[in-house]
Chain A
């Protein structure tokens, strides 16, 4: 801001004015007038909307944080689901293939027809389809302990 008056000039002006008005420096007069002016209290301003504003800002931040967290959780869940299904599908496929490979005599329409024609009864045919007789993995010169134990007659 430009200074409109020179300091010394202002002092001189003030002194001259006081002399012209017949009031040579009169500190008590100034002091009393200052006291009188101070009796007027400035009006209080309107309440600061800072509290509500800050709360609103904080609320938005909290909401944004929650939204971000929820979005992150959903994203992670989707990713995990995709990853798991992506891994499970091939494993199911591969296990089915492995089962297919492991079963030398898989159930087919042809084998089912054969079973139905050779089995003594329909129930036996179904049993053989459901529980096909497993070939013993043991060589001919070895015996299964489970088979031996099953032969024993336990007396209670």
Chain B
């Protein structure tokens, strides 16, 4: 089935709207921005060709699910044929534009994200940058909403632990609340 012009325009609009968060989510799973980018393009080109998006009730959550499936499928194929890349190749390219072009802070955040378990990293990326609710995350990851919330809080605590020493050297974003 080929989508009409409206469908293609809608999908392109969704790409512009959620592309950055989807790419971050894919990067959080793969650890490699180039593979994440490939997976993202693959998903959207497939959607444009097939026009499957019109059946999705929650399009945003559906897109995240599609990207996750594409990344995991690609990882399965890759692991079957080639050995795993070393971790040194992962989490190297920038993922964010940091406030005030603070590249050290961006690297610090990326390092902190790489240090938490995969399932927690997925949840925190989905909730903070993907702006999905815990219910949506629960559906996407096929876990309960409570589990999603738990993973989120746990990941947040770990990130804070990892990041605050580095942030404190410059400016503690939580200094006011600490009193």
Contacts and interface: CB of A to CB of B under 8 A. Distances in A.
Contacts of B11: 50
A67 to B, nearest CB: 19
Q: Is the interface of B mostly helix, strand, loop or mixed?
A: helix
Most B C-beta atoms less than 10 A away, residue of A13, A35, A45, A54: A45
A106 interface: no
B64 interface: no
Q: Is the interface of A mostly helix, strand, loop or mixed?
A: helix
A65 to B, nearest CB: 13
B150 A10 contact: yes
A57 to B, nearest CB: 8
Nearest to A61: B2
Contacts of A131: none
A48 B20 contact: no
Interface residues of B, number: 51
A134 interface: no
A138 interface: no
A13 B44 CA distance: 39
Contacts of B97: 40-41, 43
B82 interface: no
26 contacts: A3-B143, A5-B147, A7-B146, A10-B147, A32-B173, A34-B128, A34-B156, A35-B173, A36-B167, A39-B99, A40-B96, A40-B129, A42-B20, A42-B21, A42-B96, A43-B23, A44-B19, A45-B15, A45-B19, A45-B23, A45-B37, A48-B41, A49-B45, A50-B45, A53-B45, A57-B49
Interface of A: 1, 3-5, 7, 10-11, 13-14, 17-18, 21, 26, 28-30, 32-46, 48-51, 53-54, 57
Given A13-B154, A37-B109, A40-B106, 20 more contacts: A1-B142, A3-B143, A4-B117, A5-B150, A7-B150, A10-B147, A14-B153, A17-B157, A21-B161, A30-B156, A35-B173, A36-B167, A39-B98, A40-B98, A40-B109, A42-B20, A43-B96, A43-B97, A44-B19, A48-B45
Interface of B: 8, 11-12, 15, 19-24, 37, 40-41, 44-45, 48-49, 94-99, 105-106, 109, 117, 119, 128-129, 141-144, 146-147, 150-151, 153-154, 156-157, 159-161, 167, 173-174, 176-178
Nearest first, the 8 closest Cβ-Cβ pairs linking A and B are A36-B173, A42-B24, A10-B150, A40-B96, A42-B20, A45-B23, A39-B99, A45-B19
